[in-house]
Amino acid sequence: MIDFAKLHGNGNDFIVIDEFEKQIIPDSNKADFAVKYCDRRFGIGADGVLFISRSDKADMKMRLFQPDASEAEMCGNGIRCLVKYAFDSGHIDVGTVAVETLACVLPAETRKDDAGFWVKVNMGQPIKTRAQIPAKGDEDDDFIDVDMHGYNVSVINTGVPHAIIFVNDLDLDILEIAPKIRFDPIFPNGTNVNFVKIESDNEVTIRTYERGVEDETLSCGTGSVAGAYLGHLLKGMDSEIMVHTKGGDLNISISNDFVFMEGPAETVYRGTILI
């Protein structure tokens, strides 16, 4: 039997396996486990499986395996869910916490009020990347700013790679458009694809196609950070931005090129896999 918990951050949902005291799923089986149990018809159903364990350099370690068997470097909504699970399970108290991911160690602050459990994560400094597109004139411009498949694309890494496309209308066929960009050979490791509509100087709405899930998700934390950061940097938006996703809102703030993401995390249920 394998105990698990199901959590979500703005509808981006995860299965959590607690390996704080001992390994439950061998590393060699973690990818296959994610493929099987992320299935929404024959498994539990989720956008990924989070494994929580002890860390030598932080309060806990997070690993995320996705429905296509890939392991993601990190996940914004996922890290909030992991911290919420750690609180529910008595691994941490409300306050400050540090989480080791494949990308880096990320510090976070937690708070609990009548509206729920909130996690504010210091997402660090986004990494500007040009992928495999050669520079055009300005060698210091690290952003992609070219037409790809009919859209103007900018690229940023907020723990994982994101392609950002600013649009005037979000009524588009994301499942038709996004995979062409996500799988374009210019991205050697693939990319998440985000369509961002600026609503005002401090508000955007975003839709995200997630690499590894290979579908649109209700919310993407790192995508929201990427969209808000580039909105601030390239479009002159404010340093505090509300990001509307299909699953809910995230508060993104930018200070000295560091980006902070705050949002909720909710426990859906706990269960046991009988194997």
Active site residues: 75, 220
Pairing relationship of beta strands 161-166 and 192-200 according to DSSP bridges: parallel
CA distances from 49 to 36, 93, 159 (A): 10, 23, 17
In angstroms, the CA 229 to CA 254 distance is 7
Among 154, 181, 156, 182, residue whose Cα is nearest residue 166: 154
- The DSSP secondary-structure symbol of 2 reads E
State CA 252 to chain mean position distance. 13
Dig out the tokens for 169 from the structure: 């209308």
Within 10 angstroms of residue 66's Cβ, the number of other Cβ atoms is 22
